[in-house]
Homo-oligomer: A and B are copies of this chain.
Amino acid sequence: MCSEYQILPSYVICKHFSHSVGDLFIFLIVSWVFLVKKGYQDTDTSLQSSIVTKVKGVTFTNTSELGERLWDVVDYVIPPQGENVFFVVTNLIVTPNQRQETCAESESIPDALCYTDSDCPSGEPVVAGNGVRTGRCLRVGNTRRGTCEIFAWCPVETKSRPAKPLLGKAEDFTVYIKNFIRFPKFNFSKTNVLDTKDRDFLKSCHFGPKNPYCPIFRLGSVVSWTGSNFQEIALQGGVIGIQIEWDCDLDKASSECNPHYSFSRLDNKFSENSISSGYNFRFAKYYRDGAGVEFRTLVKAYGIRFDVMVNGKAGKFNIIPTIINIGSGLALLGAGAFFCDLVLIYLIKKSHFYRDKKYEEVRSVMLPPCSLRGPLAGPLDRSPPPGPRNFALVGW
């Protein structure tokens, strides 16, 4: 008996699904992927990029230590070359006139504490300290505890970080970021600067939604766009990332290929009290006195490091990826019906019947090739059917 009633539901659903709803659905997905992912385009991700940065701004400080001093770009930007990574000093600890001689180690270094000279073995460096022990323990006045005498750049740095950033006005400095990109595969190049001969444009403009082609950024704004407070980051330093993203569809006009900027804080701002926050480093300026003896000014600089990162990709119509992707898409399409079948066979309750049906079908359809030849219905029983070959081909 043919259990039509039972077969039809799953069977018809699957067929209908495959032929109309399913195929259409998958066809839409595949087409959507093809269009959204631009499967018809050849892409170039090996972006060549060059960054030139130039900071502008001066500020004046008047401290008891340094006296009246003007800070210009050459003073506070390190290194000076204007590459993609640059550092703006915002806070300083200056230790002037250091010379190679002996002095007491800083009290803030645990390993340098001593009670007697025997606590200071001669010739041994102080762990995480500034010099090598001479063998003496220096005690001020009548105190029992002192610090080891060391041979070092003396006097050692003892001051602590100012409570207020020295160059807090760096907030108003500006940086001009010139970015030139080139996609070698398509020989396409562009810059993030409006190519104008109007020199006043770049002298007066500031970056903003209305001026995407004026890459002059106020440092304070860049910091605030990352969600940070400038005076806070100026105090103990930090790292700011400036991403420039070029995502270009070269099938469109060149003017549609625009840079997109994003700003993020790249140091661990969430652990402000931890030892791992902030950004600072020490450097020195070396001098020689009249006698030719070297001395130096040690500077511990806190500040903001800006990392400008560029990435991008370009796509352009090309027949090879188009063919390959259409092919892949079609292969995917083919999977749709199979998926339906799979679901029906394995998941629908009547599946056992359906499966039986399937195999029975196979068996019975396989017979004809021979059975067609006259009275061969008998042998057919035993003969492997050709139909299944189809089966074998299709694969399930």
Any chain B CB within 8 A of the CB of A333?
A: yes
Given contacts A15-B366, A282-B74, contact A381 B373 (CB under 8 A): yes
- Report chain B residues within 8 Å CB of A182: 241, 264, 266
CB of A124 to closest CB in B, whole Å: 10
Q: How many residues of A contact B (CB 8 A)?
A: 153
Of residues 328 to 342 in A, which have CB atoms within 8 Å of B's CB atoms?
328-342
Q: A12-B384, A15-B389 are in contact. List 19 more A-B contacts (CB 8 A).
A: A11-B388, A14-B389, A14-B392, A18-B396, A33-B324, A48-B266, A58-B125, A58-B132, A60-B131, A74-B153, A81-B305, A195-B270, A362-B388, A364-B372, A364-B384, A365-B386, A380-B380, A387-B387, A393-B394
User: Does any Cβ of B come within 8 Å of A196's Cβ?
Assistant: yes
Q: What are 27 A-B contacts defined by CB distance under 8 Å?
A: A4-B370, A11-B389, A15-B389, A23-B396, A58-B152, A60-B151, A72-B130, A74-B153, A74-B282, A81-B305, A182-B264, A195-B268, A195-B276, A287-B287, A324-B332, A327-B335, A328-B328, A329-B335, A335-B395, A357-B369, A361-B387, A361-B388, A368-B368, A368-B385, A369-B382, A372-B376, A390-B391
- Known interface pairs A367-B385, A393-B394; A152-B82 also in contact (CB < 8 Å): no
